[in-house]
Amino acid sequence: MAPIAVGAKLPDGTLHHFDAEDQLQSVSVHSLAAGKKVILFGVPGAFTPTCSTKHVPGFIEKAEELKSKGVADILLVSVNDPFVMKAWSKSFPETKHVKFLADGSATYTHLLGLELDLSDKGLGTRSKRFALLVDDLTVKVANIEDGGDFTISSADDILKAL
Active site residues: 51
List Cβ neighbours of 14 (8 Å cut-off, separation of 6 or more). Answer: 26, 27, 28, 29, 107, 108
CB of 32 within 8 A of CB of 73? yes
Q: DSSP secondary structure string, 16-78?
A: EEE-TTS-EEEEEHHHHHTTSEEEEEEES-TT-HHIIIIIHHHHHHTHHHHHHTT--EEEEEE
CB of 76 within 8 A of CB of 42? yes
| C-beta neighbour count of 36 within 10 angstroms | 14
